[in-house]
Amino acid sequence: MLPPLRVAVTGAAGQIGYQLLMRLAAGEMLGKHQPVILHAIETPQAIKALRGVVMELEDCAFPLLRGVLATDQVEKGFGDVNLAVLVGARPRGPGMERRDLLSANAQIFAEQGRALNRVAQRDVRVLVVGNPANTNALVAAANAPDLWEEQFTAMTRLDQNRAVSQLALKLQCAVTDIERVIIWGNHSNTQYPDLSHALVRGEWARPRIDDAWYRNEFIPRVQKRGAEVIEARGASSAASAANAAIDHLRDLWLGSGGRWQSMSVPSDGSYGVDAGLWYSVPCVCPGGHFRRVLDLPIDEFSASMMERTRKELVEERDAVRHLLPK
Ligand code: NAX
């Protein structure tokens, strides 16, 4: 048996955290031979609820679960962790402007970045789920000067999974027939779900779908899917978000088998994106890290969509500049 890995989850008693902890303990992220010790981190107000989640974890008697640490202290929670999933974030309150939300969350992620920098394993992999995820990742990484920027990624896998499913429904094929669907940019409604490079059973998908469906139905549906779920369910996506976090970190840690997966990663300046923004691009993961898929041809329509989401990320970064160390 492998030695256990320590995995931290913030917002552990929230709706995504609840799903994520169960699936992590069941071995769905890191494999069926990898024991885990979970570090469940919450706010002081949610510690009682977290105790209930820990009881349920115990009651599952998961063979791979070697321990649970539940805490409201970030430094304790991130101590020696190999992976950290940052889910907990402040929800948008009544009368709160987007700018206020950005700022409130940036403070949380700045503090978490500093704590990871001090106490996590030096090769920790951090996935940011809490919104605004891309900019929160930027803030956390900027506050962790002893770690590499590339150790921080933000989640656009839920958007990719949504896009793949919509295409499979349209073409009446299996999701596993589809490859190379890309999410560019921000995890927000400016994201660009791109089918220009998509393959269905190894053949180009684009000739099989008409422009009107692609531009007027597919793209807005994926961009606004989160709101559509809230409208129907009365609560935001939770099981599908936890599932996407599992997919993202499993591929990053164990390898994506050559398949392209969209991840928000620190830009290296490619595709005209300012270095230092966390911008979603297609990546392949050899196991343990990601490599950007570079030099894809970009047509005029794609370029304009990619530019719009880039601009939004620049605005978000500018709104939190005061929390970025010089
Ligand atoms: P919940 O409100 O159910 O849970 C959030 C939990 O985080 C709460 O239990 C709260 O006590 C805790 N929390 C808040 N601040 C914390 C802090 N500083 N340290 C530790 N815990 C803290 O929200 P949930 O539905 O689980 O969503 C969590 C976050 O994921 C939100 O920001 C949400 O917007 C974001 N999402 C991101 C997605 C993505 O694709 N990147 C999709 C799903 C989701 O909307």
Q: For residue range 40-68, what is the model confidence (pLDDT) as tens digits?
A: 999 999 999 999 999 999 999 999 999 99
To 5 degrees, how large is the angle CA 53–CA 54–CA 58?
120
What does the pLDDT read at residue 325?
A: 85
What does the pLDDT read at residue 286?
A: 97
What does the pLDDT read at residue 95?
A: 74
Structure tokens belonging to residue 272: 């005209």
Q: Is the pLDDT of residue 294 over 80?
A: yes
Structure tokens belonging to residue 132: 């605004």
Q: Which residues pair with 70 in a beta bridge?
A: 40
Residue 248 falls in the annotated catalytic set: no
State the chain's mean pLDDT as an integer.
96
Structure tokens belonging to residue 129: 């789920």
> How far is Cα of residue 73 from the mean position of the Cα atoms in its chain?
23
Which runs of consecutive H residues, i.e. helices, occur in the chain?
15-25, 47-60, 74-77, 98-119, 133-142, 157-171, 211-212, 219-223, 225-233, 239-254, 300-319
Rg of the chain over Cα atoms, rounded to whole angstroms, equals 19
pLDDT in tens, 117-162: 999 999 999 999 999 999 999 999 999 999 999 999 999 999 999 9
What does the pLDDT read at residue 1?
A: 81
Q: Which of 10, 15, 16 has most ligand 1 atoms within 8 Å of its beta carbon, as the pocket-test mutant?
A: 16
Q: Is the pLDDT of residue 96 over 80?
A: no
Range in 61-75, 94-108, 255-269 with the lowest mean pLDDT: 94-108
Read off the pLDDT band of 326 (50, 70, 90): low
Q: Judge if ipTM > 0.85.
A: yes
* Model confidence pTM above 0.90: yes
Read off the pLDDT band of 196 (50, 70, 90): very high
Structure tokens belonging to residue 263: 């991840």
Q: Is the pLDDT of residue 98 over 80?
A: no
Q: Which residues pair with 266 in a beta bridge?
A: 278
The answer to whether the bond into 35 is cis (omega within 30° of 0) is no
> CB neighbours (10 Å) of residue 48?
10
Which residue minimizes the CA distance to atom 35 of ligand 1?
130
Q: Please list every protein residue whose CB sits less than 6 Å from any atom of ligand 1.
A: 10-11, 13-17, 41-43, 46, 87-91, 108, 129-131, 133, 155, 158, 187, 226, 236-238, 241
What does the pLDDT read at residue 272?
A: 97
